[in-house]
Amino acid sequence: QVVGGKVKKPGKRGRKPAKIDLKAKLERSRQSARECRARKKLRYQYLEELVSSRERAICALREELEMYKQWCMAMDQGKIPSEIKALLTGEEQGKAQQNSTKLAKAGKAEANSSNP
């Protein structure tokens, strides 16, 4: 068969299979399978660690939620838990310290701007 000035032979198209040593091919396949299993094992270990860390976080959040529920129940009964009192007094002290720090910084800025 002549097409475009070239002689074409009938048969399979594409690259001809190279003569590959069967033993080498099997060994490469085994090595690939070993590597695949190792990657899979590492992936499962990572996922298990991730799940356990998330479960610990969930437990901590549940404990915190329970604590807040107890605080709310106490406040509904007219009692202010000592933890909330400590938080409020700590915030008030923190605000007072922030205000004094801001005033001191403003005073320094004014002193610096008035001195040429």
**Residue 69 counted as domain residue:** yes
pTM (2 decimals)? 0.51
Does 38 fall in a domain? yes
| 91, part of any domain | no
pLDDT in tens, 19-78: 668 888 899 999 999 999 999 999 999 999 999 999 999 999 999 999 999 999 999 998
Token pair for 26: 């099997």
Q: Is residue 62 part of a domain?
A: yes
Q: So what's the pLDDT on residue 41? A: 98
In a domain, 47, yes or no: yes
Q: Would you state the pLDDT for residue 80?
A: 87
Question: C-alpha distances in angstroms, 58 versus 3, 41, 45, 47, 54?
Answer: 73, 26, 20, 16, 6
Residue 81: which of 92, 94, 65, 70 has the closest Cα? 70
| Cβ–Cβ < 8 Å for 56, 64 | no
Range of the domain at 67: 20-83
Residue 88 confidence (pLDDT)? 84
Average pLDDT score over residue span 12-18? 61
Is residue 55 situated within a structural domain?
A: yes
Residue 113 has pLDDT above 80, yes or no: no
Number of domains in the chain: 1
Rounded CA-CA distance 11/77 in Å is: 92
pLDDT digits (tens, 9 = 90+) for 92-104: 666 666 666 665 6
In a domain, residue 24? The reply is: yes
